[in-house]
């Protein structure tokens, strides 16, 4: 998908996601945050946590990902993303090198679409999140105009019309669409409560920057007129732990210590208290 993100539609989608991530992570508090994938977007730039990491499934610029799990968690202090940001670790998204309940925020920008087992990735994210930790997910919407055009191109290729203009792909070939309705069911099974669901990028499937700008008015009307048809969805979910109660301090002030002492006194002997 790296080459597609350099096209006008790809830059248009990244600009929308950059704004949404900045709004979502600005008020997310904690100590540890992790972004899994999409080095073209610095999704944690607006976050103020002291420890923020970028993890990728492969070294930037390498043609293939690491084959053996022994090298999947190697540190890369000198590896840089296209934006000049340092890559902190190379790790499989379904086998993160973090203990359970250790991360306050996890970002998955198009990570599930490119994963061979998105269920395993979500289970791993649920494992490393602290109670009330947040996961932010973006993905391409299969029910959008962009998704329908992609389905049409695949269908034309299957019936033998792959050389026609109608079979030309608009979105990258890599990855598989995951509908937001299915993703919400997966999150619910893992006790990840969906706190926010938003759609964006309502402009039609044009390829030039000029025509994308001409259809900019659709982004203003889209959230009101045809919200579920946005090309990309944005989900914020919170990890809920059932039966968890906040405990107060172990000690409690003794009221008797602050109250005045009561002393018995005999009425017949004034010399004795």
Report the sign of the C-alpha dihedral through residues 198, 204, 205, 207, in that order: negative
Q: What is the pLDDT of residue 71?
A: 40
Q: What is the pLDDT of residue 67?
A: 38
Rounded to whole angstroms, what are the CA distances from 10 to 29, 81, 165?
30, 17, 20
Task: Give residues with Cβ within 8 angstroms of 151, minimum separation 6.
Answer: 142
Q: Which of 38, 41, 218 is nearest to 144 (CA)?
A: 218
Distinct helix (H) and strand (E) counts, the chain: 7, 7
Q: Which of 134, 112, 163 is nearest to 32 (CA)?
A: 134
Q: What are phi and psi of 242, to 5 degrees?
A: -75, 140
Q: Which of 247, 245, 139 is nearest to 186 (CA)?
A: 139
Q: What is the mean pLDDT of the chain?
A: 83
pLDDT band at 242 (very low <50, low <70, confident <90, very high): confident
Question: With 70 as the cut, is the pLDDT of residue 16 above it?
Answer: yes
- pLDDT tens for each residue of 128-147: 999 999 999 999 999 998 99
SS3 192: strand
pLDDT band at 212 (very low <50, low <70, confident <90, very high): very high
What DSSP letter does each residue of 108-139 carry, written as one string? Answer: EESTTTT-S-HHHHHHHHHHHEEEEEEEEEEE
Question: With 70 as the cut, is the pLDDT of residue 95 above it?
Answer: yes
| pTM (two decimals) | 0.80
pLDDT band at 270 (very low <50, low <70, confident <90, very high): low
């Amino acid at each position: 998908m790296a080459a597609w993100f350099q096209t006008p539609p790809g830059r248009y989608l990244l600009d929308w996601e950059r704004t949404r991530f900045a709004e979502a992570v600005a008020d997310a508090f904690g100590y540890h945050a992790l972004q899994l994938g999409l080095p073209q977007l610095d999704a944690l730039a607006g976050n103020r946590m002291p420890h923020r990491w970028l993890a990728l499934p492969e070294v930037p610029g390498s043609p293939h990902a690491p084959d053996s799990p022994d090298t999947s968690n190697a540190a890369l202090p000198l590896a840089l993303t296209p934006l000049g940001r340092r890559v902190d670790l190379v790790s499989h998204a379904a086998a993160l090198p973090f203990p359970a309940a250790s991360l306050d925020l996890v970002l998955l920008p198009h990570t599930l679409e490119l994963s061979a087992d998105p269920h395993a990735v979500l289970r791993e994210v649920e494992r490393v999140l602290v109670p009330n930790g947040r996961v932010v997910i973006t993905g391409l919407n299969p029910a959008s105009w962009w998704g329908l055009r992609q389905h049409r191109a695949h269908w034309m290729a299957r019936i033998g019309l792959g050389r026609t203009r109608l079979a030309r792909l608009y979105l990258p070939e890599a990855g598989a669409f995951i509908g937001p309705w299915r993703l919400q069911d997966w999150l619910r099974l893992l006790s990840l409560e969906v706190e926010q669901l938003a759609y964006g990028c309502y402009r039609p499937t044009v390829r030039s920057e000029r025509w994308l700008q001409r259809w900019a008015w659709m982004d203003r009307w889209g959230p009101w007129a045809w919200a579920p048809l946005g090309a990309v969805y944005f989900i914020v979910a919170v990890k809920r732990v059932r039966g968890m109660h906040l405990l107060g301090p172990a000690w409690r002030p003794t009221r008797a210590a602050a109250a005045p002492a009561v002393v018995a006194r005999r009425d017949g002997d004034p010399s004795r208290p």
